Structure formats: structure tokens, C-alpha cells
Amino acid sequence: MADPAECTIKVMCRFRPLNSSEVTRGDKYIPKFQGEDTVVIGGKPYMFDRVFQSSTTQEQVYNACAQKIVKDVLEGYNGTIFAYGQTSSGKTHTMEGNLHDTDAMGIIPRIVQDIFNYIYSMDENLEFHIKVSYFEIYLDKIRDLLDVSKTNLSVHEDKNRVPYVKGCTERFVCSPEEVMDTIDEGKSNRHVAVTNMNEHSSRSHSIFLINVKQENTQTEQKLSGKLYLVDLAGSEKVSKTGAEGAVLDEAKNINKSLSSLGNVISALAEGTAYIPYRDSKMTRILQDSLGGNCRTTIVICCSPSSYNEAETKSTLMFGQRAKTIKNTVTVNIELTAEQWKQKYEREKEKNKTLRNTVTRLENELNRWRNGESVPVEEQFDKEKANAEVMALDNIINDKPASTPNVPGVRLTDVEKDKCEAELAKLYKQLDDKDEEINQQSQLAEKLKQQMLDQEELLASSRRDHENLQAELNRLQAENEASKEEVKEVLQALEELAVNYDQKSQEVEDKTKEFEVISEELSQKSSILSSLDSELQKLKEMSNHQKKRVTEMMSSLLKDLAEIGIAVGSNDIKQHEGGSGLIDEEFTVARLYISKMKSEVKSMAKRCKQLESTQSESNKKMDENEKELAACQLRISQHEAKIKSLTEYLQNVEQKKRQLEENVDSLNEELVKMSAQEKVHAMEKENEIQTANEVKEAVEKQIHSHREAHQKQISSLRDELDNKEKLITDLQDQNQKIMLEQERLRVEHEKLKSTDQEKSRKLHELTVMQDRREQARQDLKGLEETVAKELQTLHNLRKLFVQDLATRVKKSAEMDSDDTGGSAAQKQKISFLENNLEQLTKVHKQLVRDNADLRCELPKLEKRLRATAERVKALETALKEAKENAARDRKRYQQEVDRIKEAVRAKNMARRGHSAQIAKPIRPGQQPVASPTHPNINRSGGSFYQNSQPVSIRGGGSTKTDKK
């Protein structure tokens, strides 16, 4: 970083106009303005860097508060702008305003536009990466406004002990429109509420962070700057806002965090040793902005109403305390290897001069200790040493640096004063040595004390030397660490190759597992066929039982008919028997109807499931087809690039050979012309013999030049051949990668087809299992009902047989008894009527049993639903297994793509540096988006979404550079 410089926090004060409720209430306009930097409230003046009256426009506020910070951020400094004040004082209007109105927009949209305007006007050798974050502090919890699932983020420190929000969404942008879309998205997720003082009261502190990194592509100089744009929630008095419930809890947390901010400001203004940054997350995030490495501007927003006079005075006192805080700002610069080397050389020169100074002082001190008198011309000259140091500093400052922002290594003012004081003390002691030598007997103790002081000074100089040596060792260790990092990158490439082999082995294992599953499916199908045969057997048994039941019923009806004939009431008996048969058939019909209903329901559910699985499979097929088309497009683009590069290399080679031949011919002509000139001169002087000798020498020289050129040409052609071989190797590698990709696609299709086949078989198995369970339950119900009916019929038959026997006996007795014939017949009739009543009771009992069976039907349906839920659970487990397999395939594809990218990057590194710009900007033009995808730009055949890093070149044009 550059030399640190102190700067105070700038405090701006803004008063809003009276709102409608204050006008209707009859509030007075209390502020009185004196000039542009003073406001008087209640007879007391308050001075700030600038005071804005109620009629000030948004543009005037921006030009005074934030315009300079844009330039500072692009020069590598950190910046912060935040608005402070009570609720409904105009903070959100000042920071945001109307985001899409050119006149009413606030600081944030104007500063975004200004940043890009500065970039477009800067040197085109600069390359920028801009990323933004947007989060809020709600109920003392950090909540990401660009990803609402991140609700409780934490604050950490980086290696330079600068706080940052860990896990916050960082979105790369390359135009003001993308930044405004991001702001709109975050603003829609921010917490607001309605209070008695504000219809749109902010219930959280919002922080919009802009991170700008720039790199000079020529000098490789890197700078970075962060800009915090903070909209604080306003302090509230519950008696005025009327907050209740959740709004009251929000007000408590807002007031607590603002009181923590006030405590930090007070501690910094008073200069106390402990600053309570950790009392709230807001002060923790703004730690670097308050007393750290940041240019900070505070806009205090005040209400002009007499109703809010106490809150306005408190806000003005806060601004006055904040104005006394000083920040130490430095440029965030990342030195290159060449600059580190220069810094090391400068430190080495300084160390060398300091060592020479220390040795001279030690020699002089030893001479004084030995009792010698050192002459004045041999004594250490302070002015001469200062002149040497100044000369060394001038040489260092005169050396051309790689960039104008390269910092020099200088001593601070405190260290310079300390060194001058120590040197003055040393020279004073040396000047007093003459008097002390004449008075040795009287000043022996004083000399001992001075010698001890000199030893302490020497020890401190040795410590400084050791510190410099430790710094040098640290730099060397960093150099070694960079070498180790390069080795680690190579090892990572090797590990990628090993991982690729492992993934291929995993694919083979998966195929084996699929084969095992197919075998299991075949076994299950055999088991299913055996179950079908068992089901057929059970159906035959049930049919046989039905036949038996019908036979028994027919025999029973026959018996009833005979009894009716014997008794004389045939019509009644047949009527009763017919009604029992109808009831039985009715119960059987109901059972069959319930069975058909359950089957229809299961079939409908199954149809829905099959439709959903079919739609999911179609979606997956479409996605895979899109991915395949994208891969084919990339392959065609890479092939076109390779063809263009080979043609370009052939053209360059032809031009190079032509230029070499031209150079050789020109050299020969030049040598011949010089030889001819020398021959003509010698002929004029009549020295023909010497001219011949010179001619022979010239011819030898030409011959030697020709041989040297031939050798150079042969070496260049060898190099060209090597380059062509390298190009052919790269083409072979590209072809291999394409073939491997095609093979992977075919394998993916095979796996997909096998997966679909297995899922289909599994569905069939589940359907068969459902049908089997349904058949089992129906059989159980039929068996129970048939057993009950058989038991009742058996009991009835016994009763009929007993009744018939008793009737025959009684009829025989009554026939033998002639006297009481009519009375006996009456008794028989009454007896038969009693039997009919008993039969009706039995029939009623059968109806009750049928009703009980119907009551048991819901229980059976519950069991059926439980089995259906079990089947669904199994299907979800199968779906999860499929998703895991798809995730594994996706991870495998990502690994393959990463290996391809690494190989491609390695090949590009061999061929030289290529353009590293995703969306370059050239002079006079805005970045152009794709017509079909406005958020996606193409460059060099690659696609960059908003989630990918986007670099912006200063100067702005839409053509890509060829390095």
C-alpha cells in the first residue's frame, strides 16, 4: 500500500421541507442558515462541511457529497457514504430517491452512472472487474437481499483484519442497467412498514457494496477500491410513531444499533483506547469506515419542524462529533514482482548505508573508550550523513516506476524526529568529550552512564537491522511459496487426470450395478408369474365354493318347498326363500361393485403417475438435447478457431520467408556496392593489386555472411516445423476430446434408456403388486362372508329337520286321536306360525351380519390406503435414487468439463496470452448485449452469465483485443 495519509470525515447536513401533516398541524420552520456551512437552531450555531437548505435539488446534493468519491474509488481508495437521522427525515430519499427518474434519483443511482462514465473516459489499457452486494441488517441479523434464503450471515475478518460479510451474494456487473436491476431486486426484498410519521418507513439498515478492481494490462499494476452506500433506518420515539407489535420490536433493535453507532462515534471523538465496534453488527461492518482506511462522508438528514426540535438537535450534535474523527487512508495496491524487486533493492541500499553508519559510530566510540582523542575531521559528520541519505532518497525517487501509483518506502515524521533527536544527543555528547577528557577524575561516573546509553542505541540499531533481515527472509519465503503454488497447480492437473480415471471406473461400476438390478428384475418377474398361477388357483377354488353354495341353497330351497307342500303354506315359504336369495345376491353384487371401484381408483392413480413420469422424462430429454446442441456449437466454434489460426500461421510463415529472402538479397547487394566503391577508389590510385586482394577479402566476407544466413534460415525453418508439429498435436488432442465427448454422450443415452426401461418394469411390478393385494383382500372378504352364510344355512337346515320330525310325530299322534282333530290342526298352524317368526328373526340376524360386514369395509379401505402410501414411499425412494444418479452424472460431467478447461488453458498458455475480456468496453460505446439474451454476452465462443466475472476495459469499444 502507499504512504498513509490522514483525512477527516466529511459531514453534510440536509433539511427537508415541511410535509403535509406538519403543515396541517401548524409547525414552525425553525432552522436559520448562515452561509453554506452553518445552521442555527434555537440560537446555537452548528458548523459542517456543507449545509443544504430545503430547496436543494438531488443533483446539487450529489455533486457536493459523492462526486469526488467516485474518482477516489477508481484510484484505489475505499469510500463510504451513509445517511443518518430520525425517522421520516429524508434518508432514503437522499440515498435512493426515485431510482428511474433523472431528476429525483438519489446518490446511489447517480454514483453508479458516474462510475461507468469515468471508466469509459479512462485509459483503454485498464481492465475493470466490478461486483456488487446488497444486504440489510434486520433485527440485528444480516439478511442477503439478493438471496432471501440467507437470513443470518456472519461478519469475519480477512488477512488484513478488515471486516466483511461472509457468504453474501456477489454479482458481477458490466453496465449501469445491470446494477439498477440488482438494486430493484434487492429493494423489493427490503423490510418497510407504515408508521404515524412515515408511510414507507425503513425497518432495517441497508448496505449496497460496490467492489471495483482494475488492472493495467501493460504494466500489470492492480488497484482495488470498495464503496459502501448505507441507508440507515431512522431513530424513533414510540410516542410519536405509534409503533406496536412487530413494528415496536423493530424500533427497539433500530434504536439499539443507532445507540451503538453513537457510542463508537463518541469514543473515536474522545480518543479513548477501546472502541466498541463489536456492540452491533452495523458498527462491525462499518469499522473500516469509522477511523480506518476509508474516505467517509456522512449526510445527516434533519426535520425543520418545531415538533421534532429535540431530535434535530441530537442529530446535529452527532454530526459535530463525527466531524472530529480522522481516518487514515491508503491506496489499495497490489505490487508486481518487478516492484517487489525494486522495493527490495531500495531496502538493501538503505540497510547498507545504515550498516556503514553504525560501524563508523562503533569505531569512533571504541576510540573514545580507549582514551584517544578523535580529530574533528575524523569524527562522524551528521550533515554529511544526512546529505548521503537525501541523495539516496533522490536517486530512489528519480528512478522511473512502472506506474505513477507505485509507493516509495519512507520514514514517517515521528521516526524522523526521533532519529534527529537521537543524533543530536549523540553529537552533543561527542562535543562534550573534550571537556570530559580534561576532567576525567571528576566525570568518570557520567562517562560510564553515557557509554551505557550508546550501547542501548547500538542495540536498537541492531534490532532494526534484524527486522530488515526478517522482512527480507519473509519476501524470500513468499517467493518460494509462489514456486510451490506453481508446483501445486501442476499436481492438481495430475490429480484431475487421476480423478478422471476414477470417474470412468465408477461408471463401469454403475453399469455392473445396473446389470445386477436387471437380474433382480428378471427374478422378480419369475416370482410374479408364480404368484399369478397361485392367484388363478385361488380363483378356481372360489368358483368351486360358489358352486357348492349355490347347490346347497338349491337343496335348501327344495327342502323348504317340500315342507311347504306338507304343511300347506307353499306360497309363503317360496316367498321367504326368494327374499333371502335376493338379499344374498344383493350383498354379492355390492362386494363386486366395491371391488370394481377400488380397481378403477387404483388405475386412475396409476395413470396420473405414468403421465407425470412421462412429462418428467420428456423434460429431461429436452434438457439433454439442449446441452448436446450447446456442446456441438462449442466444438464447431473451436474447430473454426483452429482453422483460422493455422491459416494465419501459414501466412505469417510465408511472409517471414519472403522477408528473409529480401534481407539476404539486400545484404548481398550492399556488400557488392561497398566492394565496388573500394575497387574504384583503388583503381584511381593505381593500386590494382591491392584492389584484387580487397576484392577477394570482400568475396570471402560475402561467402561467410551467406553461410551464416543459411544457418539462421535452417534454424528458423526447424522452429517452424516444430511449431507445425505442436499444432498437429493440439489438433489430435482436440479430436480425441471430441471423440471422448461423443462416447460419453452415447453412454449417457444408453444409461438413460436402461433407466427408463427399469423404471417401466418397476411400475409394472408395482401395478401387479397392487392387483395381487386387492385380490387377496377381496378373497378374504368373500371367504368370511361365505363361511358365515354357510354356517347360518347349516343351522337353519338343522332347525328345519328337527321341526319336520316333531311335526311328523305330532301329526301321527293327531291322526290317531279322532276326537280333537280341529283343535290339533289349530295347534299345528300356531306352531308353524311360531316357526315362521323364528325364520324371520334369523333373516333379520343375517341382515345385521351383512351390515356388520359393510362396517368392516372402511377398515379394509384404510389398509388399502396404507399399502398405497407404502407404494408411494417406495416410488419416492426410487425417484431419489434416480436423482442421486443424475447428480452423480452431472458431477462427472462437470469434472470432465473442468479437465477440458484446464487442458484448454494449458494449450492457450503454450500459444501465448489471449484476450481475457468477457465484455470489453471501448471509447464512445456502451457494452452491447446479445439480441436474444440481454443478460448474456459472447466473446471468443464462451458464454458469461451475470454470476461469472465480467471485466471492463477503460475507454470502451465492443471489439475484442488480440494480444
Euclidean distance between CA atoms 596 and 588, whole angstroms = 12
Give the pLDDT of residue 48: 92
**What confidence category does residue 188 fall into, taking pLDDT thresholds of 50, 70 and 90?**
confident
For 33-90, write each residue's pLDDT tens digit.
988 889 999 889 999 999 999 889 999 999 998 888 888 888 889 999 989 988 888 8
DSSP-assigned letters across all residues of 66-111: THHHHHHHHTT--EEEEEEEBTTSSHHHHHTB-TT-TTTB-HHHHH
Among the listed residues 705, 845, 859, 840, the one whose alpha carbon sits nearest the alpha carbon of residue 780: 859
Identity of the highest mean pLDDT range in 176-190, 247-261, 660-674:
176-190
Among the listed residues 730, 716, 742, the one whose alpha carbon sits nearest the alpha carbon of residue 643: 730
Give the pLDDT of residue 338: 78
Q: What are the φ and ψ backbone dihedral angles of 957, each rounded to 5 degrees? A: -150, 160
| Mean pLDDT of the 382-388 span | 70
Q: State the burial class of residue 151 (Cβ atoms within 10 Å of its Cβ: 0-12, 13-18, 19+).
A: exposed
Grid coordinates given for 469: 533481515
Give the pLDDT of residue 954: 57
Please, what sign has the CA dihedral across residues 801, 805, 806, 812?
positive
Euclidean distance between CA atoms 802 and 824, whole angstroms = 19
DSSP 290: T
Grid coordinates given for 112: 453508479
DSSP-assigned letters across all residues of 431-493: HTHHHHHHTTTTSHHHHHHHHHHHHHHHHHHHHHHHHHHHHHHHHHHHHHHHHHHHHHHHHHH
932 or 187: which leads in pLDDT: 187
Strands laid side by side in the 44-47 sheet: 32-34, 38-41, 44-47
Among the listed residues 410, 296, 370, 358, the one whose alpha carbon sits nearest the alpha carbon of residue 2: 410
Provide the Cα torsion 503, 504, 508, 510; round to 10°.
Answer: 30
Please, what sign has the CA dihedral across residues 889, 890, 896, 899?
negative
| Mean pLDDT of the 750-762 span | 82
The pLDDT of residue 455 is above 70: yes
Which own/partner pairs from 21-24 qualify as long-range (CB within 8 Å, at least 24 positions apart)? 21/197, 22/303, 22/305, 22/307
Angle at the Cα of 764 from the Cα atoms of 758 and 768, rounded to 5 degrees: 145
Euclidean distance between CA atoms 808 and 566, whole angstroms = 10
Cell 445527516 sits on residue: 300
Please check whether residue 836 is in contact with residue 572, taking contact to mean a CB–CB distance below 8 angstroms: yes
DSSP-assigned letters across all residues of 371-418: T----GGGS--HHHHHHHHHHHHHHHHHSPPSSTTPPP----HHHHHH
Euclidean distance between CA atoms 164 and 175, whole angstroms = 25
pTM of the model: 0.43
The pLDDT of residue 797 is above 60: yes
Half-sphere exposure for 111 (CA within 13 Å, toward CB) = 32
Grid coordinates given for 822: 280341529
Euclidean distance between CA atoms 787 and 934, whole angstroms = 77
The pLDDT of residue 570 is above 50: no
| Mean pLDDT of the 570-579 span | 42
Supply the Cα-derived Rg of the chain in whole angstroms. 50
Lowest mean pLDDT among 238-252, 304-318, 700-714: 238-252
Euclidean distance between CA atoms 810 and 828, whole angstroms = 8
Please check whether residue 3 is in contact with residue 413, taking contact to mean a CB–CB distance below 8 angstroms: no
Among the listed residues 258, 261, 267, 136, the one whose alpha carbon sits nearest the alpha carbon of residue 205: 136
Determine the number of helices (DSSP H) and then strands (DSSP E) in the chain: 18, 22
Grid coordinates given for 104: 429525483
Please check whether residue 294 is in contact with residue 79, taking contact to mean a CB–CB distance below 8 angstroms: yes
Please check whether residue 342 is in contact with residue 324, taking contact to mean a CB–CB distance below 8 angstroms: no
**What confidence category does residue 210 fall into, taking pLDDT thresholds of 50, 70 and 90?**
very high
The pLDDT of residue 165 is above 60: yes
Please check whether residue 10 is in contact with residue 322, taking contact to mean a CB–CB distance below 8 angstroms: no
- Please name the residues in contact with 569: beta carbons below 8 A apart, sequence gap of 6 or more: 832
- Please name the residues in contact with 532: beta carbons below 8 A apart, sequence gap of 6 or more: 768
State the average pLDDT for the chain: 76
Among the listed residues 483, 227, 470, 216, the one whose alpha carbon sits nearest the alpha carbon of residue 335: 216
Euclidean distance between CA atoms 774 and 778, whole angstroms = 6
Among the listed residues 67, 80, 17, the one whose alpha carbon sits nearest the alpha carbon of residue 302: 17
**What confidence category does residue 405 fall into, taking pLDDT thresholds of 50, 70 and 90?**
very low
| Mean pLDDT of the 217-238 span | 83
**What confidence category does residue 830 fall into, taking pLDDT thresholds of 50, 70 and 90?**
confident
Euclidean distance between CA atoms 82 and 102, whole angstroms = 21
**What confidence category does residue 133 fall into, taking pLDDT thresholds of 50, 70 and 90?**
very high
Among the listed residues 10, 57, 27, 30, the one whose alpha carbon sits nearest the alpha carbon of residue 312: 30
Grid coordinates given for 482: 509462489
Euclidean distance between CA atoms 514 and 510, whole angstroms = 6
Give the pLDDT of residue 814: 64
The pLDDT of residue 132 is above 90: yes
DSSP 250: H
Cell 519476501 sits on residue: 475
**What confidence category does residue 300 fall into, taking pLDDT thresholds of 50, 70 and 90?**
very high
Burial 496-514 (b: 16+ CB within 10 A, else e): beebbeebeeebeeeeeeb
Angle at the Cα of 660 from the Cα atoms of 659 and 662, rounded to 5 degrees: 65
Euclidean distance between CA atoms 807 and 159, whole angstroms = 113
DSSP 529: H
Grid coordinates given for 290: 469509522
DSSP 223: E
- Terminal-to-terminal C-alpha distance of the chain: 30
Cell 448562515 sits on residue: 34
The pLDDT of residue 259 is above 80: yes
Share above pLDDT 70 across residues of the chain, in percent, rounded to a whole number: 77
Residues in the chain: 963
Is residue 298 classed as helix, strand or coil in its secondary structure? strand
Euclidean distance between CA atoms 519 and 516, whole angstroms = 5
Please check whether residue 172 is in contact with residue 183, taking contact to mean a CB–CB distance below 8 angstroms: no
Euclidean distance between CA atoms 379 and 360, whole angstroms = 9
Give the pLDDT of residue 199: 53
Euclidean distance between CA atoms 46 and 28, whole angstroms = 19
Euclidean distance between CA atoms 946 and 171, whole angstroms = 7
DSSP-assigned letters across all residues of 220-281: --EEEEEEEEEEPPPB--HHHH---THHHHHHHHHHHHHHHHHHHHHHHHHT-S---GGGSH
The pLDDT of residue 283 is above 80: yes
Is residue 130 classed as helix, strand or coil in its secondary structure? strand
